[in-house]
Structure 1
Amino acid sequence: MGVSTGQLGAGEVAGLLRRLYQGLASGRLELRNQQGVRWFWLEAGQVRAVESEVEEEKLGQWLVDRGLLEREQLALTLLRQENGELFGDLLLRQGVVEAEQLHEELVERAALILSRLLPAPVSFEFKPGEKGDPRMCVLDVTMGDLLLRAIRRLPDGEILQKLINPKAFVCAQSDVLLREQKVHLSASEAFLLSRVNGRTTTDQLRRLVPFSEEDFVKALAGLITAGLVELSDAPPQAPVRLALTQEEPEVLVDETVAFEPHQAAEHQRVLKLASEIERQHYYRRLGLSPGATQDQIHERYRELARMFHPDRASEPHLRTLRSELARIFNAVKDAYDTLSDPERRARYDQFLRQAEAGHEDFQEEERRRKAQLELARASKKQADLLLKAGDYGGALPLLEQAARFAPEADTLLLLARVELRNPMWGQRALSHLRMAVSLDPQLTPAWLELARFWFKRRQVQRALACVEKVLEYDPKNAEALELRRQMK
């Protein structure tokens, strides 16, 4: 998607965000209305950061309005802000808020900003590929969840009513990417979604559910805005069966100290497939033979769309792989779009026969894999030199590249240590540490880093469990024994 600009009418911002999500776009979206300018940074269709020039929407004022910061405290904190230091980093350094609390406040602030943009006409400009400050807190919220939160904040009024045509049929979203989003639904939204069958109109659905008019309008408007359902002038010929993707909130204390073997294996599989799939022919992308039936193609696409949906990056073991999941999803969708159309499929089959593209060049694949391993080793070696020189910012992208091409345990440990220098990157570091000890269960420095991670967050039992892992195979390890003594 190239640079695009334009004007949006009241209520059209949500449609633009859905299109960016469907395109798995990455870049900066600027939205401007009479109040001022807001910026949304996206990665593979997910909003990763939001900033505003509107004074009352800036982080400091937001925290004051939420009762988390006194006005005088805000003024004193700003005086202590060092040149170039992000305000969020300053709050963490001063101990004003914890990292997890700051993240939740940033998500709520983003929802508020979006709720103020939804009802208003705005101008927009999207610049693909433009990245924000890498030190910014990365929002861990899906596009669907953010849109739902924004709708819930809107007062009941014309903007919600305009989304709902009383005579239209309420259908499950036909677009697989939107339909399979990971979302946290309210009880009303989940109940309403469970009653969507494509054969009832809005008015009929309203009479079927035990909601007040206000609750019905808000729940349906949220489902439409998030893209989970859509309205149609006629019932679909073959209504889509809904498989509710309601997400349970992640509870950090319920996580195991290391990833399970199947989670570590899936992490590795996603990395490998993301590096290969765009070179595979369409049938192989879907795991089918050229003789596959249309029913097999449709069923396999639905299965793979769920398996590699970018929103699965909300799962702990895939948290750092959203871009890789998006690459796989796009490649699978390209294959499906061609093979599900009889005319396009016939042309593609002819191309395969002529080019003999169905045969894998094993030697070429081996050469490519060796080149990636060499690049990973060179990146790690260069990162080691930069770390010794204190250049953590320069080392970070090199370690990320090395971990992507050759996710070895010691590389993941180094990457996690760099990430832990930023208080807002704790979840990313945690994912890499857990993957490191999953790959090498006797990597003592990673277990001890995990122990310190949990101890710092007052999760003493989890920290002790990490220390005990070391003492199982190295009972005289002095550092582990000292950490255990401190924790008890």
Structure 2
Amino acid sequence: MPFPEIELADSAEFARTPLPRVLIALHRAKYNGSLVLHNGRQQRRFVFQAGSPVLSESNLASDSLAAHLREQRLISAEGYPPVLDYARKREVSEGAALLALRILEPVQLFHALREQIRDRLVDSMRWQKGRYELAPTGEENLDIEPLGWDLPPLIHRALADHWTVDRLLNSLSPRLLLYPRMGPGFARAVQRLELSPDHRSHMAALHETRSVSESLGAGLTATPVLAALWVLDSLGTLDFAEAPPERRQDEVLTEFDAEIELALVDGDGSEKVDEVPANEAPSQLCTETETLRLKIQTLRAGLGTLDHYQLLDVSPKLKSAAIKKAYIEAAKRYHPDVLARLGLQDIKTEASEVFSQLTQAFDVLSNPEMREAYDAEQRGELSGSDAQILAQAETTYRKGEILLRMGDFGGALRYLESAVKIWPDEGVYRSALGWALYKQPCPDPKAAREHLTSAVELSPGDPVAHFRLGMVLRALGESQTAQNLLDRAKQLEPQSD
């Protein structure tokens, strides 16, 4: 179920087709022609060639070449009037005047014009109101091709800067509970985006055996990660299924990019071909295989006694990023299907148990709340059963929270009710459940009030709980109490809304 090609109307409102979606469609269609954007009295025009913006015009004073050059400190405000005077008298462009007056070198003007295209386009993606118009030409001008920009990185940057987490989650909601499958262009597309190492690792965590939300984990709250998923999905580099694939007995994951053939001569003179990693000799591979076998058997024997940190071979002092790196390395080393590649099929059952425990350990340690509960249990502050219950409640709550952010309040209720039932003394759970009850298609403000009142009592310093209770009480007609709660929310968190 890849993202389909987008059929654009010649003109439409941004409310119907957001500008990033328009740009993705033009990129995929290798569009030649103009794109005119209107937002009230503001107007910008972009010329596209083979799906890339190569020229731009604007009626905004802040978009002028003079303003851009002043911002880049390439010219002063006093130095630009002679440029305009020269351009008017000679009937040439401002760029030609800048070159003729030797104020800029050609390479400086080239970069300034390119950056002007980029800045105008990225800023336009803030517009939620307005419309676009297309005027295809079908022609190409090779002289202006070098000015073009690669659109996906620009779209990713604009989404990460201008769209909220909630808006991205709402747009991605049909995908989050599905199982991703990476297409042949996925890795290359990821490399084109400007992602930090931590955000890039979230993309690497996508796997067909886990839903998107399970794969991304904490990345669901990071706009660069969600923006990257939006772009990669829209480019058609991802496919999605409603269930994970059934593993075949003979299916293996190849962890080596390069292989060579080692030809051995049998007694009858025929060649016997074995494949080994290009950088490893047979004897070295044999030694490492036996070492790996021993390591798996040792881990399997200690599953009942090793804690999560010992399983992942990390220090309890390490941060989440380092733990994630350790898990990825362990997953590459101990995955049962990878071991089949090394001829270790006979310990596949043991490896599966080890891998399952490694994944469980990472799930706990990569979640701040679950890790805190686990550490408390290790210190003897919580019983094992309490920690297990708390971890279950937190996992259930996270699923409900995702649906809550996506605006699926009815769908969130099932998970949030379960979380509150498991751990009723957690104010955040009560707050989320109360809000879902209030915002669902058939609101239940009285039940919402009960849970939100408990949330405020359990978490008196939580501005969100105060704000939500205030909104519910306002709907119930208790205006003065509602206003007091809303004022208190502002005191606790000035940015609360």
TM-score (norm: length of structure 2): 0.40
Structure label with greater radius of gyration: 2
